[in-house]
Structure 1
Amino acid sequence: MKLTAKTVNIPIGPPQHLIERIEHLRSLLKNLPEALPLDPPDHASTYHFNLSPDDLEERGVFGAVSHTLEICFGQRRDGLLHFKERGQRLENLVIMLKAGVKQMSNGDREAFEDAWLNRLIDGAKAAGARIPKRKVPTTSRDNNELPAAKKTQALSPILLDDSDDEITHLDPPQSPIPSSSLLPAIPLASLVSSTASSPSTYPTPTNPSKLKQSFLSFTKDTSTEEEKQVARQKRMERDEKVQAKKLASLAAKKEKADRKRKDRERELARERKRKQRAKQKAEEPESEGDNLSKVLSQGAQEAANSKEVEMQDIATVSRAGFEGWRKGRNGTLGGAKQGKAVRTNWWHPFLWPAIDRAMKKADWSAQDAVKALQHDNPTLYKHLHRGTVWKWKEKDTRAWSEKTREKVKNHHALLGSGRAGALTKHPELVEEIKTTLSSLRISGFVVNVPIARSLMLGLIEQHAPLLITPSFTCSEYFVRDFLQSIMSWSLRVGTRAAAHLPADADDLCMRTFFRLVYLMKWENIPPKLVINGDQQGIFVLPSSSKTYNTKGDSQVDIVAKDEKRAFTLFVTTTCAGDILPFQCVWAGKTAASLPSKDAPGMEKALGHGFCFTVAASEKSPRSHFSTLKTMKEYITDIIMPYVKSVIAADPDLNDEQKAALYIDVYPVHTSKPFRTFIYNGFPNLVIVFVPANCTGKYQPADVGIQRPLKHKLKTALFEWMVGVHREQLAAGAKSEEIKVTTSLPKLRDASVAGLVKAYEYMQSLDGRDLIKKV
């Protein structure tokens, strides 16, 4: 008998066996041993099972699920997953797995089952999870022990066929018996004999003729066998659907009951925790800081519970205790008036912990954390943006940045707050500093940190000298905060790409090192005659193309932006720790471009052997860079007198003793005229060049000498500027009349004393140790 063809429906979604495996995992997780902690606190748990939209977009479904499981369980050498707790978080794991497999492809599902699902099940079993066996009621195979209703259902109507004296079963409607188990046709004689032999099993009439008449009383079925088969198939499908609905209903009821039970358990746990905290709080005495935190917390809580509260009220609560500076504003020169705080202090101890917990729970996803905060506290965090939170975290790591941790520690951010720090109690002094700096900017002069600090120190020493203490020195850090918080100025920055190290820099430096070693060994050159020279540009007036100015200005004027107030300082040291006299190269062509003979410190400078010269550049008269002229003077006036003095002081050396000069591959140094000048005039002086573009890596003077020298010169120049400002104030100059001189002759003369001080420091024991270390 052939059955009619039937369309096969391809299942949509994960296969049934995969869902069954996940349900098996759920049963195991629910029966983990009680020795494991139940729902530990968030800070003590690493189980945060959720699929971040960012991870789904970046890694795909399978990658996001794998990434989350790797973070939560970690990686072990044995490959086995170890469960450390039990409770609701593991239920979230099952929910996440079901949501993940629904979106995976068939290939990803197979990989997921092999890579994770089987390991999770093995890990649960290894942790001691055991599913208890259900108790099945015992039943007898003897039909006599069945109830009366069951006995009635066990009987099937029988149809008597006169053609072949056989009895055929007639399928009752809604029969649960499949078509494959239909009883075959039984001869009437066999049925009568069997019923006669076992009257307790089938109740039959005592008269066989009446039994036959009862069978004939049924209407004979005229449908074909194929139609019967189709009917049976439909009944089976209908019965399966009914059974599936019953099972689904039972599962839903069980899940609802489990959910109610777990909600009840969580509520009881919360209540126990609240009672515990209340008890601890009652036992501990409240300090002044605790009282303040309590007031702030209550105010923020009331703001969170009120639907009509404005964000400005929350900002005011978050900045409680810092209203003094806002009340002092008068709306004119004192700054714009503000009735309420307009910016929320997210670092407040009541607001920040929720942000911190949300980020950790969201696996450091700023978008998910902000959504959770706005869902739980829409009034408090409705103006918090995910971009703001993203800037607080360290890039490519799951941690807050160092700057953010510092702000959290201080409970507020100073920058942009309008606070004056140590000058808060002196508003007149703050106003005078603001007027002075603003006037300086209006004139177009550069305002940077050294210039602003010199002005501020001069004004502080005049109006409030007692403010200068060991704990407050008006440091550069304080000046930067003052310019940004009080003046609302920002630094306009320009950048330039630096030269890159060559790919074979290490090899080039190693060759240079062995070149020097070979030269010292072969020519028997002592450390005193291994000389290193390097030029560095020195600004006698701090200047650059960037300055502090009002935010938002499109045009920023700078006085003498294209005029350099600088010179070239040629610094020379030896391996023995000696420092040779400085060569100072100034722009110009005559001696009138050099510091005057009456400059402070000039007598000491000449006594130390300093060489002051002009560049006399043929291409640019204002250039102060080294030229062939200055390099010849450097060799004849600085290098050779030192070499002759070393030879004269050491009896083991003669006039033919060679010396090594280690300098950069500057165009003037590598030029043919300069090398010819050395070869013809000083054959005992051997030049070794620093590898190209390796100055920052293998030039000793650049690596360790330039910065200390520049710092000494900067300090000396700063002291000079403070003295100039002090003299102007003592002479009765007003704040807006204070200027910083740009006169090059005065700046040239002011640089000599700083050079002498820096040179004498390098001749001291600390300076010599620094040179040897370099």
Structure 2
Amino acid sequence: MSDGERSAFEDAWLNRLIKAAKDASPKISKRKAGPSVSNMSYAIPSKKSKTDHCPSLPTPTLESSASQSVLSLQEPKPLSAPAPPLTPIPPSPQPTTRPVFLPLKLKQSKLTFTKDLQTEEEKEEARQQSIWKNNERQAEAEARVAAEQAQKKERERKLARDCQRRHRDRLRAGKEAKSDDSQCESDAEGDSHPAASTQVAAVSRAGYETWRESRNGTLGGAKQAKATRTNWFHPFLWPGINSAMQKAHWKASEAVKILQRDQPELYSHLHRGTVHKWVAKDRNQWSERTQKKIANHHELTGSGRSGALTKYPALVQEIQETLQSLCTSGLVVNTTLARSIMLGLIQGKHPEALTKHFQCTESFVRSFLQSVMNWTVRAGTRAAAHLPADADDLCERTYFRLVYCMKWEDIPPDLVINVDQQGIYVLPNATKTYHARGDKQVDLVAKDEKRAFTILVASTPTGEILPIQCVWSGKTDNSLPKPSAVGMDEALAEGFHFTVAASATSPRSHFSTLKTMKEWIRKILVPYIQSVIERDGLDKDQKAILYIDVYPVHISEPFRMFVFTEYPNIILIYVPGNCTGKYQPADVGIQRPLKHRIKAALFDWMAKEHQQQLLAGASPEDIRITTSIPKLCDASVAPLVSAYKFMQGPDGRDLIKKAWANSTTVKNQNLSIASLTSKQSHRALNGYLKIDKTLHEEISARCGKVFGLADESAIEADTDRHVDFDDDTDIPFEDVVNATFSGSAESEDGLTSAEVGEDMWAYNNSGEMWSTTRSLPILASD
């Protein structure tokens, strides 16, 4: 405190004491051990106080010590005898109504009034001590509560362990009793084979008995007398699961039903949730983690497994030598070629090897090349053209172009023709082949040559298919199939047209050129239009629509001028760039089934050629695959005729109609007859012409005739628009058609055989299928 504050504080206390003395009674009661008031001295300030009216109290003195900063009461000295009573104070002008005693209780200790007179340092120290004591008391309370909770949890865990132990004892006793009953029943029936469901887990984890024996039930882990969890990735279990998933279109519940129906002894305890966890979330295939597990349990490459051919080692050796001779000669060895050779050797040497479970599919051939031949294949990839962001708007505008022309030009659906090119390989040849692993030099014969040709396939919404044009590389008719080729007479009778590309830039090119497109219009399109006019009794100047994509030849000025000048009644309407897979019927649902039938027919021809060489006595090393273009040209005619006749039949017509109907937009504006000619489409056309200035200006200029609407970038990107579906030749045609129109993810990568018998891991080392054996084999390790 400052001097002024201290002086004011002392005055206040002194005034209180003086007032108390004034109001006190003249008599003070005697106390046995209490000190006498007269023997006390008070420290008072230097200021003189008014005490004249209180003679019974001693006059206080001021102790002027520099170190003393508070008012203190000095402890009186002890008395030998009680002090005499004080003299009563004479009555004042205003006497009190009752006696008042001095409210000061003195003790035998030094009394110091320091609560409000402490320094800041002392206050802070007292506060810190109080906080520390509170924290210490709180910590002790928390520790006491934690100890009580720990003891409670320990008691609960002990009770739970005892309960679980009693429950396990009851279950063990029940299982033992049940096992004894089942054993008695099996002995009574004379069945010597144990239940398959109890052995599946043991067989799938054979080789780990020593590990289970080392577990002692304490620190070494729980005891396991036998395996209880099944390793579904074991070779004798996984092929069936993989096959069932493909059959069930990657639905886990359906696959489990198939497995439990066909082989209940193996898959009776397989749950659909277990299978569902193995499938990738974003596509219909096994997840990366599952594929790693499969690879860890059975590595196929170089393992030497031959599956169903294990019983015929001489045949396997012969196939191996034949394929090796083809590889040495530099010929491209692909799956189709290898399968034709293998199937020819099997049918010639051991036809009994072909059963209902094993047909030597392309899936088996790929596994054979990896396992027995230790071959691999490398392939390059490139990004495909993507749908433009405004694909639906572009397709909608194209839809109303067709609707407008059909409505106001009175064009029937039979005269709306869509045409597209499709490449066909008669002998697949490319820069990739199966070859031995690790070789740095891979020789190929005719590496840059293609044994292929182009076909132009045209169709209408009514299901009609126009005759096929075949375009071969070269400049003269010598490059075409001979008139004596098998099926040539039927092809010419159906109106087929065989021609050469005669490309000015590439003599080996077999793609459509301006020359071939003009020939197609003159010899196929115009005769078809004339036949429809005569059949339906239409006007001679009846207009027709040619619906084609933005292939560079199609949008070139010479081609458009050729159509406009020589055939003005043909209206050109183009498929939007990069939208052929969405809005061109040929790409949506016609090319893939047609190509599959042609490929399967060519394979049959190739297999017969190999079989004839074997029957003629040729040795495996003497078998040769012809690379002669003239011979391959002749062999391609019959498959084309066969495929064309199928498309003319009722199933083929339905397939074509479905392809037109599946060419649709998000607004369900498809190219079917019902959609193009409906009154709803005509009403929508009137509204669309009011809001779409582009189509309005086109029609105003020239009745829907298009003049170079597609940009150059889209044209270049659209040249590689087609997806090359690599479907195995052994896949049924119905499955190819279903995959084409299902829109499922697996159809984009091609279909493969899902039969268990084609999987090499489905057979044991004796060449017998795991599922057909009476008892499960016990493997030492796997």
Instruction: Give the shorter-chain TM-score range.
Output: 0.5 to 0.7
The equivalent residue for 1:527 is 413
Q: Secondary structure at the match of 2:626?
A: coil
Provide closer, same or farther for how the CA distance between residues 235 and 671 of structure 1 changes in structure 2, counting only shifts above 3 A: closer
The equivalent residue for 2:685 is none
Deviations 1:677-732 (A, max 9, x none): 22222222222221222211111112111111100110011101111211222233
Instruction: Indicate yes or no: 2:600 matched with 1:707.
Output: no
Q: Letter of the 1:771 partner, please give it.
A: I
2:108 to 187, 205, 215: 215
The equivalent residue for 2:620 is 735
The equivalent residue for 1:303 is 211
The equivalent residue for 2:713 is none
Aligned 8 A contact 1:601 1:753 in 2: yes
Instruction: Indicate yes or no: 2:559 matched with 1:674.
Output: yes
Identity of aligned residues (%): 52
2:576 to 691, 695, 713: 691
Instruction: Indicate yes or no: 2:661 matched with 1:773.
Output: no
Provide closer, same or farther for how the CA distance between residues 215 and 532 of structure 1 changes in structure 2, counting only shifts above 3 A: same
Q: Letter of the 1:743 partner, please give it.
A: S
2:151 to 247, 254, 257: 257
Instruction: Indicate yes or no: 2:574 matched with 1:659.
Output: no
Aligned 8 A contact 1:414 1:481 in 2: no
Pairwise CA distance, 1:159: 13
Aligned 8 A contact 1:487 1:550 in 2: yes
The equivalent residue for 1:422 is 308
Question: 2-side partners of 1:601 and 1:697: how far apart?
Answer: 34
Question: 1-side partners of 2:159 and 2:412: how far apart?
Answer: 84
- Taking the TM superposition and a 5 Å limit, the aligned residue runs for 1:220-239 are 226=119, 232-233=126-127, 236=130, 239=133
Q: Letter of the 1:215 partner, please give it.
A: Q
1:290 to 178, 198, 203: 198
Pairwise CA distance, 1:296: 6.6
Question: 1-side partners of 2:112 and 2:541: how far apart?
Answer: 138
2:317 to 416, 419, 431: 431
Provide closer, same or farther for how the CA distance between residues 725 and 403 of structure 1 changes in structure 2, counting only shifts above 3 A: farther
Question: 2-side partners of 1:582 and 1:165: how far apart?
Answer: 134
- Taking the TM superposition and a 5 Å limit, the aligned residue runs for 1:82-231 are 215=108, 226=119
Provide closer, same or farther for how the CA distance between residues 492 and 244 of structure 1 changes in structure 2, counting only shifts above 3 A: same
Provide closer, same or farther for how the CA distance between residues 276 and 432 of structure 1 changes in structure 2, counting only shifts above 3 A: farther
Instruction: Indicate yes or no: 2:425 matched with 1:539.
Output: yes
Aligned 8 A contact 1:318 1:346 in 2: no
The equivalent residue for 2:86 is none
Question: 1-side partners of 2:473 and 2:654: how far apart?
Answer: 33
The equivalent residue for 1:752 is 637
Instruction: Indicate yes or no: 2:450 matched with 1:564.
Output: yes
Deviations 1:589-609 (A, max 9, x none): 111100111111111111111
Q: Letter of the 1:737 partner, please give it.
A: D
Q: Secondary structure at the match of 1:557?
A: coil
1:508 to 350, 373, 394: 394
Provide closer, same or farther for how the CA distance between residues 427 and 515 of structure 1 changes in structure 2, counting only shifts above 3 A: same
Provide closer, same or farther for how the CA distance between residues 421 and 630 of structure 1 changes in structure 2, counting only shifts above 3 A: same
Deviations 1:341-388 (A, max 9, x none): xxx978369x99xxxxxxxxxxxxxxxxxxxxxxxxxxxxxxxxxxxx
Deviations 1:169-216 (A, max 9, x none): xxxxxxxxxxxxxxx99999xxxxxxxxxxxxxxxxxxxxxxx99936
Question: 2-side partners of 1:714 and 1:421: how far apart?
Answer: 26
Q: Secondary structure at the match of 2:108?
A: helix
Aligned 8 A contact 1:595 1:745 in 2: yes
Q: Secondary structure at the match of 1:584?
A: strand
Provide closer, same or farther for how the CA distance between residues 622 and 511 of structure 1 changes in structure 2, counting only shifts above 3 A: same
Question: 2-side partners of 1:228 and 1:702: how far apart?
Answer: 95
Aligned 8 A contact 1:534 1:701 in 2: yes
Instruction: Indicate yes or no: 2:514 matched with 1:628.
Output: yes
Question: 1-side partners of 2:205 and 2:159: how far apart?
Answer: 28
Provide closer, same or farther for how the CA distance between residues 562 and 411 of structure 1 changes in structure 2, counting only shifts above 3 A: closer
2:168 to 251, 274, 281: 274
Question: 2-side partners of 1:404 and 1:420: how far apart?
Answer: 27
Instruction: Indicate yes or no: 2:453 matched with 1:580.
Output: no
Provide closer, same or farther for how the CA distance between residues 741 and 164 of structure 1 changes in structure 2, counting only shifts above 3 A: farther
Pairwise CA distance, 1:454: 1.4
Deviations 1:281-315 (A, max 9, x none): 321546144145357769636416649xxxxxxxx
Q: Letter of the 1:665 partner, please give it.
A: V
Q: Letter of the 1:676 partner, please give it.
A: M
Aligned 8 A contact 2:202 2:226 in 1: no
Pairwise CA distance, 1:239: 3.5
Aligned 8 A contact 1:318 1:345 in 2: no
Q: Which runs of 5+ in 1 are unaligned?
A: 3-157, 167-183, 189-211, 308-316, 320-343, 353-390
Question: 1-side partners of 2:198 and 2:594: how far apart?
Answer: 51
Q: Letter of the 2:162 partner, please give it.
A: L
**What count of residue pairs does the alignment treat as equivalent?**
506
Question: 2-side partners of 1:464 and 1:238: how far apart?
Answer: 96
- The 10-residue stretch of structure 1 (732-741 or 498-507) with the greater mean CA deviation from structure 2: 732-741
Aligned 8 A contact 1:587 1:623 in 2: yes
Question: 2-side partners of 1:240 and 1:186: how far apart?
Answer: 35
Pairwise CA distance, 1:261: 2.5
Q: Secondary structure at the match of 2:454?
A: strand
Provide closer, same or farther for how the CA distance between residues 748 and 225 of structure 1 changes in structure 2, counting only shifts above 3 A: same
Q: Letter of the 2:571 partner, please give it.
A: V
Instruction: Indicate yes or no: 2:449 matched with 1:449.
Output: no
Q: Work out which of the two has the higher radius of gyration on C-alpha atoms and give 1 or 2.
A: 2
Aligned residues: CA RMSD: 4.3
Question: 1-side partners of 2:36 and 2:522: how far apart?
Answer: 138
Q: Letter of the 2:361 partner, please give it.
A: S
Pairwise CA distance, 1:638: 0.6
Provide closer, same or farther for how the CA distance between residues 645 and 232 of structure 1 changes in structure 2, counting only shifts above 3 A: closer
Instruction: Indicate yes or no: 2:602 matched with 1:717.
Output: yes
Q: Secondary structure at the match of 1:566?
A: strand
Pairwise CA distance, 1:744: 1.1
Q: Which runs of 5+ in 2 are unaligned?
A: 3-33, 44-71, 77-104, 183-193, 216-224, 239-276, 660-782
TM-score by length of 2: 0.57
Pairwise CA distance, 1:269: 4.7
Q: Secondary structure at the match of 1:215?
A: coil
Question: 2-side partners of 1:592 and 1:213: how far apart?
Answer: 142
Provide closer, same or farther for how the CA distance between residues 470 and 301 of structure 1 changes in structure 2, counting only shifts above 3 A: closer
Question: 1-side partners of 2:558 and 2:469: how far apart?
Answer: 21
Q: Secondary structure at the match of 1:540?
A: strand
Question: 2-side partners of 1:213 and 1:678: how far apart?
Answer: 132
TM-score by length of 1: 0.58
The equivalent residue for 2:268 is none
Provide closer, same or farther for how the CA distance between residues 277 and 513 of structure 1 changes in structure 2, counting only shifts above 3 A: same
Question: 2-side partners of 1:594 and 1:241: how far apart?
Answer: 103
Provide closer, same or farther for how the CA distance between residues 280 and 727 of structure 1 changes in structure 2, counting only shifts above 3 A: farther
1:246 to 136, 140, 151: 140
Provide closer, same or farther for how the CA distance between residues 709 and 346 of structure 1 changes in structure 2, counting only shifts above 3 A: closer
Q: Letter of the 1:701 partner, please give it.
A: A
Pairwise CA distance, 1:456: 1.8
Q: Secondary structure at the match of 1:662?
A: strand
Q: Letter of the 1:619 partner, please give it.
A: T
Provide closer, same or farther for how the CA distance between residues 483 and 528 of structure 1 changes in structure 2, counting only shifts above 3 A: same
Provide closer, same or farther for how the CA distance between residues 291 and 165 of structure 1 changes in structure 2, counting only shifts above 3 A: farther
Deviations 1:80-113 (A, max 9, x none): xxxxxxxxxxxxxxxxxxxxxxxxxxxxxxxxxx
Pairwise CA distance, 1:233: 4.9
Pairwise CA distance, 1:426: 2.5
